[in-house]
């Protein structure tokens, strides 16, 4: 095909908000204007761009779907008026006699519209699309210019071979896929391997556009790309919202574009602990801002978890929007006070010390008669955490600051937390991050900063809740290096107890951890949401009943991990 037949396509990574029809459409229009100014013939936006994703039970409301239809028509009229001649691909919900559809809209440059309904509806992990959508049945291939033909797909469609194969049979020259594929560790490499593999197996190039930004527990990483018919990546975007440079679909179809330097036999760039940190920052920023807040408040203890949470918040929102409170008791070490102050100073965040010993004593005074003659236990320990949670919520109410909790996945798994105490808040930035990953992320913070923004003493000190004299986490728990491997195996990989034992762990330890995981389901149900970053996060990924009677779960557990 001659250069004169060029057909430039621009990919737009858009950060949507569920239900913000006007705002989402405005972003599509803005992207269309900029794409046309770049010489594009077609703009491609992500899945469900008009509604936001996932819209969940909003999609079951007729008024919501009617609003989407109204804004789809407004978008069509605006595109014809403002960017005539530019084809635009975007996503939304469509009501049909057969049910609601997850629909790709192809807005032609002449004002006409064609639709394609998503055929494969995911119903695993965090996805529940079969509950709200009816699958499509047909393919869509559209002629572009004189000879070029584009076939269309929506996200899950390309995780299966049939859609790509049928598009090839329908004489498509390349595939355009719109997506809302959430991020998790290792997902990008798996995603690219699957969808590029199916497209290349059909002998088709692929233009793949993904959503970016945080939406409740999910975080979308963007990283849209284009690949040729041999599966080589010729363009890849980062995670940021914005437009890619135009990709000439004619040259893409002809196999005439040079591959990216990282497209063959090389790891996907930006993966690992660095990308995990970026996704946590994105998730916090979007949850706070999209829910109408500008500032957050958190308890800063001098420990590693709260130090990491404070750094994530400062990088997400700016240091001036982060407020930290140190709330010591008689059990708080002087080192904790020093380290918390240093962390706050290094970040430049607002920081204050509010001793809670008087409040704690007042509570104990009220309970003195009832507790008389009974030994100290978790009741006295948890009361301290609950006083702290009460104060943080007071700051939230008075100053309109969203409370961030600072618990990690290791603690949440085994219930090493206090209901209505350190779990009290609105968003939990590291709830799906294992303790060993917390330490790695802290070192990533310091690597980026070029100095100990989180003091090494914070990272190296033995973890402690400091709720009793001389308390250490590992008095109640296996060492985190062991605990995290068991949690990862049982929760994230679905390994059974025998399999985990055979991999080298003591049966008694494995059974105890598994008992604690299931015994503390009731706690996790009452904890705030946080970003899903692993293959299986507690929450929408993990749906076990709180009441059950299963095998080794009934054996005496010895000392519990409950706080």
Write out pLDDT tens, residues 491-523: 999 999 999 999 999 999 999 999 999 999 999
Cis amide linkage into residue 389, ω under 30° from 0: no
Q: Which residues are catalytic?
A: 47, 118, 155
Task: Collapse the DSSP code of 250 into the 3-class scheme (helix H, G, I; strand E, B; otherwise coil) and give the result.
Answer: helix
Banded pLDDT at 317 (limits 50, 70, 90): very high
Give mean pLDDT, residues 532-546.
91
Closest to 106 in 3D by CA, of 129, 64, 147, 139: 139
Strands (DSSP E) contained in 284-345 are 295-299, 322-326
Cα four-point dihedral sign 132, 134, 136, 137: positive
Residue 269 has pLDDT above 70, yes or no: no
pLDDT value at residue 484:
96
pLDDT value at residue 4:
52
Residue whose tokens read 């595939």: 175
Strand pairing category for 113-117 and 99-107: antiparallel
- What are the pLDDT digits (tens) for 122-131? 988 888 898 9
Give mean pLDDT, residues 403-425.
95
Banded pLDDT at 550 (limits 50, 70, 90): confident
pLDDT value at residue 2:
45
pLDDT value at residue 520:
93
Q: Decide: 120 and 163 in contact? Cβ < 8 Å.
A: yes
- What are the pLDDT digits (tens) for 23-48? 999 999 999 999 999 999 999 999 99
Give mean pLDDT, residues 377-388.
93
Task: Collapse the DSSP code of 7 into the 3-class scheme (helix H, G, I; strand E, B; otherwise coil) and give the result.
Answer: coil
Rg from Cα positions in the chain: 26
CA angle 280, 284, 290 (to 5 degrees): 140
Domains and CATH numbers, the chain: 7-262 (3.60.110.10), 274-554 (3.40.50.620)
Distances from the Cα of 17 to the Cα of 25, 387, 427, 429, 433, angstroms? 11, 35, 17, 19, 25
Residue 466 has pLDDT above 90, yes or no: no
Q: What is the pLDDT of the chain when averaged over all its residues?
A: 92
User: For 557, what's the count of Cα atoms within 13 Å in the CB-facing half-sphere?
Assistant: 22
- What are the pLDDT digits (tens) for 218-266? 999 999 999 999 999 999 999 999 999 999 999 999 999 888 876 444 4
Give mean pLDDT, residues 151-160.
94
pLDDT value at residue 562:
59
């Amino acid at each position: 095909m001659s250069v004169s037949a060029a057909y430039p396509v621009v990919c737009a990574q858009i950060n949507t908000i569920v239900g913000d029809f006007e705002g989402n459409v405005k972003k599509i229009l803005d992207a269309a204007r900029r794409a046309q100014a770049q010489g594009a013939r077609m703009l491609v936006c992500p899945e469900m761009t008009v509604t936001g994703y996932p819209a969940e039970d909003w999609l079951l409301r007729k008024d919501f779907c009617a609003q989407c239809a109204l804004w789809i028509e407004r978008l069509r009229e605006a595109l014809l008026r403002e960017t005539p001649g530019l084809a635009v691909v975007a996503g939304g919900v469509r009501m049909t006699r057969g049910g609601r559809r997850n629909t790709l809209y192809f807005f032609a440059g002449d004002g006409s519209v064609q639709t394609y309904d998503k055929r494969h509806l995911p119903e695993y992990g965090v996805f529940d699309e079969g509950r709200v959508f009816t699958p499509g049945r047909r393919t869509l291939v559209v002629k572009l210019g004189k000879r070029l033909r584009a076939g269309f797909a929506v996200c899950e469609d390309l995780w299966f071979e049939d859609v790509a194969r049928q598009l090839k049979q329908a004489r498509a020259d390349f595939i355009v896929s719109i997506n809302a594929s959430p991020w998790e560790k290792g997902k990008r490499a798996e995603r690219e391997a699957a969808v590029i593999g199916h497209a290349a197996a059909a002998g088709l190039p692929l233009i793949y556009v993904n959503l970016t930004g945080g939406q409740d527990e999910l975080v979308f990483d963007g990283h849209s790309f284009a690949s040729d018919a041999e599966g080589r990546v010729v363009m890849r975007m980062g995670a940021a919202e914005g437009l890619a440079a135009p990709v000439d679909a004619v040259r893409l179809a002809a196999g005439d574009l040079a591959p990216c330097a990282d497209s063959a036999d090389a790891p996907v760039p930006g993966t690992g602990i660095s990308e995990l940190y970026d996704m946590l920052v994105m998730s916090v920023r979007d949850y706070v801002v999209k829910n109408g807040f500008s500032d957050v408040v958190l308890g800063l203890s001098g420990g590693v978890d709260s130090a990491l949470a404070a750094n994530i918040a400062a990088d997400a929102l700016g240091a001036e929007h982060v407020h930290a409170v140190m709330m010591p008791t008689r059990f708080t070490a002087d080192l904790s006070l020093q380290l918390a102050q240093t962390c706050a100073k290094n970040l430049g965040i607002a920081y204050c010390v509010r001793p809670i010993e008087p409040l704690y004593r007042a509570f104990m005074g009220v309970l003195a008669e009832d507790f008389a003659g009974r030994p100290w236990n978790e009741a006295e320990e948890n009361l301290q955490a609950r006083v702290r949670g009460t104060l943080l919520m007071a700051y939230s109410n008075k100053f309109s600051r969203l409370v961030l909790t600072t618990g990690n996945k290791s603690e949440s798994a085994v219930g090493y937390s206090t209901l209505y105490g350190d779990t009290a808040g609105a968003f939990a930035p590291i709830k799906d991050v294992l303790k060993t990953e917390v330490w790695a992320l802290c070192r990533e913070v310091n690597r980026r900063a070029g100095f100990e923004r989180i003091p090494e003493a914070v990272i190296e000190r033995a973890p402690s809740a400091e709720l009793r004299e001389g308390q250490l986490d590992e008095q109640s728990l296996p060492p985190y290096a062991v605990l995290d491997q068991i949690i990862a195996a049982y929760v994230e990989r679905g390994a059974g107890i025998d399999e985990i034992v055979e991999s080298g762990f003591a049966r008694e330890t494995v059974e105890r951890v598994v008992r604690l995981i299931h015994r503390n389901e009731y706690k996790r149900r009452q904890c705030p949401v946080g970003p899903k970053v692993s293959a299986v996060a507690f929450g929408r990924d993990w749906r076990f009943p709180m009441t059950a009677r299963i095998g080794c779960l009934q054996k005496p557990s010895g000392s519990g991990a409950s706080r």
